[in-house]
Amino acid sequence: MAIRQVLRMGDTRLLQCAEPVSDFGSDALRALLVDMRDTMHALNGAGLAAPQIGVNLRVVIFGVEKNTRYPDAETIPETVLINPVIAQLDDEIEEAWEGCLSLPGLRGLVPRFRNVHYRGRDEYGALIDRTVSGFHARVVQHECDHLDGILYPMRIRDITRFGYTEELFPDQVLQDE
């Protein structure tokens, strides 16, 4: 029930490998997820990983609602994903611009697998099992990277394609992941 401070790149807690969750349905997990949702929505993010608010657990949330300002933008169902496992479906790589709440105001061109399968648990321990592509696949890969201490700049192939959003996209309003 609180908007939490998001750690920014340079904080070594973002570089840790997070611990699996074993206690599903607990009050502590429920409270963590309330804070994560409040924080993500307050900052207009597309996703958030628990380590970004200083909680070293393998918990991510993500979701992109239909936005009337961007009717063509892809939507992603609001998802809680715990102890996720991602597998690429093929070798197809796609590059696209990403942002992150831990690097406010910046964007980078990041290669990701286009098609992935992911599994994990929701907050009650129920299985989530999806095959996704494109933007959905990108957001999942970005969020799960946070659980292994990886921030998107570490994956940029051409560092000249990294910079301030206002300079790269002067006319757009973009979401952070």
> Among all residues, which ones are annotated catalytic?
143
What does residue 87 show for φ and ψ, rounded to 5 degrees? Answer: -135, 135
Q: Could you say which of 36, 76, 100, 147 contacts Ni ion (CB under 5 A)?
A: 100
- How many Å separate Cα 104 from the centre of its chain? 14
| 61 vs 126 by CB, closer to Ni ion | 61
- Bridge partners (DSSP) listed for residue 45: 176
Selected range binding Ni ion among 55-63, 70-78, 89-97, 100-108, rule: CB under 5 A? 100-108
- Min dist CB 125 to Ni ion, Å, is 25
Alpha helices per DSSP H over the chain: 27-42, 134-147, 165-168
- For Ni ion, how many residues bind (rule: CB under 5 A)? 2
| 80 vs 100 by CB, closer to Ni ion | 100
| 8 vs 125 by CB, closer to Ni ion | 8
- Min dist CB 53 to Ni ion, Å, is 12
Residue 103's closest CA among 155, 154, 167, 151?
151
Selected range binding Ni ion among 30-38, 72-80, 99-107, 164-172, rule: CB under 5 A? 99-107
Residues that bind Ni ion (CB under 5 A): 100, 177
